[in-house]
Structure 1
Amino acid sequence: MIELKGDSLTFDEFSRIVYRRDPVFLHPLAVKKVQESRRWVEGHLLKGNKVYGVNTGFGKLSETSISAMELDALQLNLIRSHACGIGEIFSEEVSRAMLLLRANALAKGYSGVCVETLQRLIDCLNKGVHPLVPSQGSLGASGDLAPLSHLALVLVGEGKAQYKGEILSGKQALEKAGLKPITLKAKEGLALINGTQAMTGLGVIAYLEAEYLADIADRVASLTIEGLRGVIDAFYPEPHSVRPFPEQQKVAARIYSFLSDSQLVTKQGEERVQDAYSIRCIPQVHGAVRQVLGYVRDTLLIEMNAATDNPLIFTESDQVISSGNFHGQPIAFAMDFLGIAVSELANISERRTERLVNPQLSEGLPAFLSNKPGLESGLMIAQYAAASLVSENKSLAHPASVDSIPSSANQEDHVSMGTTAASHAASIIRNSRVVLAIEAICAAQAVDFRGVNQLGTHSKQFHQHIREVVPILTTDRVLSTDIENMAEAIKQRRFILKEGFDE
């Protein structure tokens, strides 16, 4: 069981809940804070005080007062009218991430919801009721209004959800899970949809995948170095000690440890003085990617545990404050930066693949790693596929965060496009996973020609794992399945990495 308190959710807990479905419950302190916040809302309603989103309209309509008899209808109308999402449905993991992160934000006790409403979000998580949320339609301020509205619809028995593999109406899904729809009270509809949980949920999933991809990239690059009989001197600690980026130093040390007992690597001057940049500069490029991952990690960790709706209720000082915590700019920047970094991980990988298959660059390997060059094309077109994906990444890496478009009659006149940035980053990660899968296939084929028995201990183990997924290429065959299988094996983390980056 994992406790939600609103301020201490970790990446490990996120993974356990989203992927492994560990159960969740509210910490008693969170329950107390939520109850206090709700009492504040109800007290001010009794006094007739005007509070945005509680007894007023929304956005440009914030000066319109709503009668006491229509407050519940106001919240339901909000959810229905804002459910304008379009496009493909987010994955089940993203839906779970949104449920989790919205519950964690409300558990902070600044949103004025009923405990029962918050509990229903947690019930959906624990019982596997996953709202179907369209992936397009968010401007990233006032948060993820459209995606979160589709999430909230299921809580009131509307919209659609997936339950045990079956797509049902929200009402049917709740009933099959033994749950009842909730009735939204004053402020609750706004509290459910005013936040950054779509971009943040998608962003955390993308970050976790990118982190593993960076680990795999070091492994794959090491195998390529052996396939090309690379010069190991570039990974000695001395050059990295005088440009002391910690991430660069760690990547160099990690790759050096993988290659330290290899009989395939060479030393400076034995066969050549130095390698091309895509080999020699791996620590500098992979290390810089790690720097970006650190920035993204820190940004997401704050946002995972933040109150991002509006207005926020501060019971201790008896204040309700309209502010802009729903604005997704921090996540938009982080996701754009993540996409740029991972696209570079793919760019340098594709260049290494080219060196493996190009007979003018491969240090004596057969052309295109074919057993019968000319009669057979070997892995020639695998490099084409990688080149296509890195080119696509360059378009996707154009920053979404530099764009903005006014909405709500110019009341909301600057937005973040953070969910677009997160979606682009996720697409870049998917593409880059395939690019690295292609390099891994080519590197494994190269060392088969060189002699697997000469590999270093770590690379020998990694090569064996690759061969469990993709058999050696002895004659031309359809490679699409091999590439897909390798990419899926990376996604499923089937390669056990005994050495973590920080070890």
Structure 2
Amino acid sequence: MSQSILLRPGAVSLAQWRAIYRGARVQLDPGSADAVLRSAQTVEAIVAKGAPVYGINTGFGKLATVRIERDDLETLQRNIVLSHAAGVGEPMPLSVVRLMLALKLASLAQGASGIKPATLVLLEAMLQQDVMPVVPCQGSVGASGDLAPLSHMAAAMIGAGDAFFGGARMSAADALAQAGLAPIVLGAKEGLALLNGTQYSTAYALAGLFEIETVFQSALVTGALSTEAAKGSDTPFDPRIHALRGQPGQIVVADALRALMAGSAIRESHREDDVRVQDPYCLRCQPQVMGAALDVMRQAARTLEIEANGVSDNPLVFTDTGEALSGGNFHAEPVAFAADMLAMAVCEIGSISERRIAMLVDPALSGLPAFLTPKPGLNSGFMIPQVTAAALVSENKQRAYPASVDSIPTSANQEDHVSMAAHGARRLMAMADNAANVVGIELLAAVQGCDFHAPLASSSVLEAARGLLRGQVPTLQDDRYFHPDMVAATELVRSGALTARVTVALPGVDASA
């Protein structure tokens, strides 16, 4: 049975969001029901008064000055969903859709959006029954909220568009029916509340964060293995060095690398009388580079955890005063900055990993056979996997241009500054995948390099990691079809199987810096 998460609006931990992304079931805290009901009643009272309030009895965006009569309010909310469902591109991955729905559920359940209880019941049921709307991945500029993608989500709730259910794509109406659910009729404010907000951008940014975290931890293991393969020194990981600088990520990364190598016979074999004075930066500066990446990832994680627990639609309903106040919480600038930070971090994780691969295949630097093959010349060994790693690193560099510095006016200049958080966040999963492939290649190269040091062994921790790979990929003697080896190694990185095999505690993004 999969894990079940009790969603407490405003108080969901990063670990719980991670579990939801990985497939955990979601149950909304029943304690949120009173706040939701009071919020819906406040909207009803505003409608009864008849005074114009944006999003409740007016048009939207540039059309905010158009007054909508009471008899047309349900049509108004249905129309905004249908007209704004204007996304393009491939459907979002279902794991990210699930996370987006959970984020929207938690936001609406805080009782500041005017949503009716029945609407939240349906949203929760869709999560529990695994009715996942088909949401095209392109079309949001990250303000005024992630309108297009969230409209596709809301469309499924009223029986429009498509959804996945039971592993099949079908009409949303059929998916709801097969799950024993019925579409809803949206009341005043509800359509706008569903499609306004940053949940699409935040879901993608969180998904990127979780994938990058896995690659980061795997890269600590492969970095230690590369240090062993090159018979590098663990002196640069001495805690006294890092305490003098004081950078928190640097300190914990050095601790992890030192623990990974503890007890290595390979390290002890060259501790004395080694003519080399210093290792290349890709080995020696791992704590500084990876530690800085960790600090940036943790900062992004803090921003995203706050955003995930906030309310980001507009207008916001305040039940204590009976007001609906227009503001700009839908502007996803914090998410855009966090996504840009993560893009830089994953670039550097892959970049320094590729430099270690290049170092290992160069006998002048590593002292190992050229391209890590016993018979260089007849065999090319790791020559082209290093080229592939270089190509992926450069691709990530091209994708890392900050999205947050871009803006383009929309809605007839009513929405004249936007965050571009959506595509800034969406690129992260592809960048993480590129970095995972690079680290997978490093895993192959580093283990191959260690093989040349037999019968000397590394630490028990790193030997366990080597054994995991060697259980699927044998030592490269003569050239063979290389692609399956790379697929197997990358899957160990991407799935977290590599880090699960080691007994050393590896730093992650949950801990505060």
Instruction: Calculate the TM-score normalised by the size of structure 2.
Output: 0.95
**Aligned: 1:338 with 2:342:** yes
Structure 1: 5+ residue runs without aligned partners? none
Alignment partner of 1:500 out of 490, 499, 505: 505
Correspondence list, 1:262-301, <5 A: 262-265=264-267, 266-267=270-271, 270-301=274-305
Percent identity of paired positions between Structure 1 and Structure 2: 42
The 1:293/1:452 distance shift into structure 2, 3 A limit, reads farther
Tell me the alpha carbon deviations over residues 268-291 of structure 1, each in whole angstroms, 9 at most, x when there is no partner: 862311001111000000100110
Alignment partner of 1:360 out of 361, 364, 373: 364
Residue in 1 aligned with 2:419?
A: 416
Segments of 4+ moved more than 3 angstroms: 266-269
Distance in 1 separating the partners of 2:361 and 2:507 = 33
Q: What is the one-letter code of the residue matched to 1:327?
A: H
Residue in 2 aligned with 1:445?
A: 448
**Aligned: 1:15 with 2:24:** no
**Aligned: 1:229 with 2:231:** yes
Q: What is the one-letter code of the residue matched to 1:287?
A: G
Residue in 2 aligned with 1:63?
A: 65
Distance in 2 separating the partners of 1:30 and 1:346 = 43
Q: What is the one-letter code of the residue matched to 1:334?
A: A
Q: What is the one-letter code of the residue matched to 1:291?
A: D
Distance in 1 separating the partners of 2:458 and 2:343 = 33
**Aligned: 1:475 with 2:478:** yes
Residue in 2 aligned with 1:311?
A: 315
Instruction: Calculate the TM-score normalised by the size of structure 1.
Output: 0.97
Residue in 1 aligned with 2:246?
A: 244
Q: CA deviation at 1:2?
A: 2.9
Residue in 1 aligned with 2:103?
A: 101
Correspondence list, 1:62-461, <5 A: 62-265=64-267, 266-267=270-271, 270-363=274-367, 365-451=368-454, 453-461=456-464
Comparing 251-260 with 92-101, greater Cα deviation is found at 251-260
CA contact (8 A) 1:232 1:267 kept: no
Distance in 1 separating the partners of 2:59 and 2:138 = 25
The 1:188/1:373 distance shift into structure 2, 3 A limit, reads same
Q: CA deviation at 1:25?
A: 2.6
Distance in 2 separating the partners of 1:244 and 1:269 = 31
The 1:237/1:187 distance shift into structure 2, 3 A limit, reads same
Q: CA deviation at 1:11?
A: 2.2
CA contact (8 A) 2:461 2:504 kept: no
CA contact (8 A) 1:268 1:274 kept: no
Residue in 1 aligned with 2:511?
A: none
Structure 2: 5+ residue runs without aligned partners? 509-513
| Corresponding pairs, count | 501
Distance in 1 separating the partners of 2:41 and 2:320 = 12
Q: What is the one-letter code of the residue matched to 1:119?
A: V
Distance in 1 separating the partners of 2:492 and 2:82 = 40
Tell me the alpha carbon deviations over residues 159-179 of structure 1, each in whole angstroms, 9 at most, x when there is no partner: 111111100000010011110
Distance in 2 separating the partners of 1:431 and 1:268 = 39
Q: Secondary structure at the match of 2:471?
A: helix
Q: CA deviation at 1:426?
A: 2.0
Q: Secondary structure at the match of 1:361?
A: helix
Distance in 2 separating the partners of 1:334 and 1:269 = 47
CA contact (8 A) 1:5 1:108 kept: no
Tell me the alpha carbon deviations over residues 190-230 of structure 1, each in whole angstroms, 9 at most, x when there is no partner: 00010111111111111112122211111100000000000
Q: CA deviation at 1:34?
A: 0.4
The 1:106/1:313 distance shift into structure 2, 3 A limit, reads same
